[in-house]
Structure 1
Amino acid sequence: MEAIPKRARGEVAWQWSRTADTQRALLDAARAIFVEQGFTEASIAQIVERAGSSVGSLYHHFGGKSELFIALWQEHQIAQQRAANEAVARAKAVGVTDPAELFEAGTRAVLDGCWVRRDLVALFFAGDGPPGFEVMRRQRTSDWIGQNDMLLGLSDSTFDELYVRVLTSMIGECSRFVMLAKSRRQANQIIEASIGYVRRLTADGPWAPSREPVKTSAVENVVTASARRRTRAAG
């Protein structure tokens, strides 16, 4: 293979750097405009003006406004996943093996990221996104549930699936409150409260050896008894 001349290698590196800088400028501009205007009201003209770029460059690098929105979403998800993975890895490195404690470490990292990137979290929760975005969100939630399932070492039973879905949904709701916090101090207080709720729900998790599996008949008995009490009260 013929070696690339030093000058040519330098030119390639410069071109790549310029491309990366252009993409970053467009993403940062899109982030600002989407947050200010909302996805629907934002225009490509506003984005390229804010980025100091051109319409042609935007279409060349991303394909359009929807693709910019999705790129911001993917960046946020990657950052959240990386932060959670690193937090769990740090916990394991100091000897933590309890699934609940590992889950707590990952949750704290995710909630902290919701404060750091609160403008994006608000944007993604607003319900104003490109066609197909809600499908992507639902798929991401499903993937997140699966990851939590593996981290907690749950079985494929109906009750364990319900358990992990409740936990995951609660963290999603907690992230809303973190995003709405008026200061870092308040955000930290909300994160600590959220971790407290996680601890309550994981205090006797499905991985605990002493936990007896709930029988369907027992659940049915509880529901039936409750229905009878309501009937007597109504009568």
Structure 2
Amino acid sequence: MARRGSGRSASWEWSRTAKTRRSILQAAREVFAEHGFAEASVAEFVRRAGSSVGSLYHHFGGKAELFLALWEEHQAAHEEAAAAAVARARQAGVTDPVELFIAGARAFLRGSWERRDLARLFMDGDGPPGFELMRRTRGREWVRQNAVLLGVGGAPRERLTVAVLTSVIGEAAREVAISETEEEAEEVIEAAVTMIRRFGPPRG
């Protein structure tokens, strides 16, 4: 028979573990943003998190794994925000694939402003071995998903159009991340939307 309170104890232990993990991730985010991947140190992560080297290695395995965990969270936040924006647009009655694409693009680009420290970090090219390959692989998957959303086929011109539109969003994200103010970031977003409408696939 389980001891009374064992469930509460397990819940507390899980909460403490999650808090430790989150503290380490937040500390790593700050240090990576300030120093880049190569110059960031595990000792500084631990000091800012108020944790221990053993705890960091237990939760993440090392500096590279911390960097990749932050990147995966950043990408997941982008994808969730874009998917939610597209779903809201559909619920509002939007059916034009280009306008649905724009709804997702706006959410993606606003996330680049909200998490501009991470956006700048990941576009620097300073990462652990294998990161560039992961980024390119994710980029190809992003193009594929955009092709599905836009409802285009596999003809060369259509593939090129989707690749160009995806590149527009990627480059706009860079500009958003280095914007000085939110107003400047919004100007970049609107410029990107104008380009998408201009160069998007034919409607209807």
**Alignment TM-score, normalising by the size of structure 2:** 0.97
Alignment of 1:8-157 (within 5 A): 8-157=6-155
Which structure has more RCO (C-alpha within 8 Å, separation ≥ 6)?
2
Matched, 1:199 2:197: yes
Q: What is the SS of the residue equivalent to 1:109?
A: helix
Q: 1:91 to 1:52 in 2, by over 3 A?
A: same
Supply the AA of the counterpart residue of 1:30.
Answer: A
The count of residues paired between Structure 1 and Structure 2 equals 204
C-alpha distance in 2 between matches for 1:88 and 1:136: 25
C-alpha distance in 1 between matches for 2:64 and 2:15: 24
C-alpha distance in 2 between matches for 1:182 and 1:6: 56
Supply the AA of the counterpart residue of 1:28.
Answer: Q
Alignment of 1:181-200 (within 5 A): 181-200=179-198
Greater than 3 Å deviation, 4+ residue runs: none
Alignment of 1:160-199 (within 5 A): 160-199=158-197
Q: What is the SS of the residue equivalent to 2:154?
A: coil
**How many angstroms does 1:188 deviate by?**
1.1
C-alpha distance in 2 between matches for 1:198 and 1:162: 13
Supply the AA of the counterpart residue of 2:77.
Answer: A
- Which runs of 5 or more residues in structure 2 are unaligned? none
1:54-109 Cα offsets, whole Å, 9 max, x none, are 00000000000000000000000000000000000000001111101100100000
C-alpha distance in 2 between matches for 1:82 and 1:63: 26
**How many angstroms does 1:6 deviate by?**
4.3
Indicate the RMSD between aligned Cα atoms, in angstroms: 1.0
**How many angstroms does 1:200 deviate by?**
1.1
C-alpha distance in 2 between matches for 1:131 and 1:6: 48
Q: What is the SS of the residue equivalent to 1:39?
A: helix
**How many angstroms does 1:5 deviate by?**
4.2
**How many angstroms does 1:201 deviate by?**
1.3
Percent of aligned pairs with the same residue? 54
Moved more, 183-192 or 88-97: 183-192
C-alpha distance in 1 between matches for 2:61 and 2:18: 16
C-alpha distance in 2 between matches for 1:88 and 1:125: 25
Q: For residue 158 of structure 1, what is the aligned residue in structure 2?
A: 156
C-alpha distance in 2 between matches for 1:37 and 1:145: 31
Q: 1:49 to 1:97 in 2, by over 3 A?
A: same
